[in-house]
Amino acid sequence: MSDQPAVPDKASLRASDADRERVAETLREAAGDGRLSMEELDERLEAVYAAKTYAELEPITRDLPTPGIPNMPAPAVPPGGDPARFGVVPKQFTAVAIMGGGEIDLREARFAEPVVTINAVALMGGIEITVPEDATVRVNGVGLMGGFDHRSSGTGAPGGPTIVINGAAIMGGVDVRRRPPRKSKRDAELDPRRDYRQERLEARRERLDARREYRHERLEARQDYIRDRRDSRYPDETD
């Protein structure tokens, strides 16, 4: 009985350029997500392009998630809305401005109930109401020798609050506007850092692409050299 040929261990097999590029792309995505610093990215990319076998590639991304597969499922929004949005603003309240002005900003507010009613009365004055973009807004107020803005009425996103705005503007005005959430101080500080990190990542990618193209050109030149030597040693004798 003849011996069966041994099946080689995959970890000991030689890695291809395509294998190394897949690992490099995983590292780039991790750096773009903030999981790796630029220094760590540089170190790991050097290890990727120096790796010769699968066994040398595998540890480089062992502590990183697989691209395209989320780590944790997003929590489902209950039918009544996001609980974190409710608990402070009362179910119903009244705002009055007489020969003056007032402002109500609900973009970062938490609501006592999924449906909140605002009674706004402006007498020779003005009230500005800012609502979050995901809110369903129903404006029912009227203007008497004044203006009551209805342009922000409309359906919001699932899970958002419902805001009903009643009242009257008498020789005054009530403005209702949808605006995105205010950017926090931390976000404002992080934005330039993200831009800088992205610029460095793109520059690094361009350098790696140039290096890979150079290696490919060298490989082709080497193949041409070997082919020319073979042709010179074994000339075609059919002529």
- Amino acid at position 27, single letter: L
Q: What percent of the chain has pLDDT over 90?
A: 18
217 confidence band (pLDDT: 50, 70, 90)? confident
| Mean local confidence (pLDDT), 189-213 | 73
- Amino acid at position 66, single letter: T
Check whether 120 has a pLDDT greater than 70.
Answer: yes
Q: What is the pLDDT of residue 239?
A: 47
Q: Which helix H or strand E contains 202, and what residues bound it?
A: helix 185-233
129 DSSP β-pair partners: 104, 176
Report the distance separating Cα 95 and Cα 163, nearest Å. 14
Structure confidence by residue, pLDDT tens digits, 89-102: 888 989 899 988 88
| Mean local confidence (pLDDT), 225-236 | 72
Q: What is the pLDDT of residue 206?
A: 80
20 confidence band (pLDDT: 50, 70, 90)? confident
Q: What is the pLDDT of residue 123?
A: 92
Q: What is the pLDDT of residue 101?
A: 86
Report the distance separating Cα 144 and Cα 150, nearest Å. 14
Maximum mean pLDDT: which of 49-58, 165-174, 175-184: 165-174
Report the distance separating Cα 129 and Cα 174, nearest Å. 7
Contacting residues for 81 by C-beta, under 8 A, at least 6 apart = 114, 159, 160, 161
Report the distance separating Cα 123 and Cα 95, nearest Å. 11
Rounded to a whole number of angstroms, the distance between the first and last alpha carbons of the chain is 51
Structure confidence by residue, pLDDT tens digits, 60-73: 988 887 665 555 54
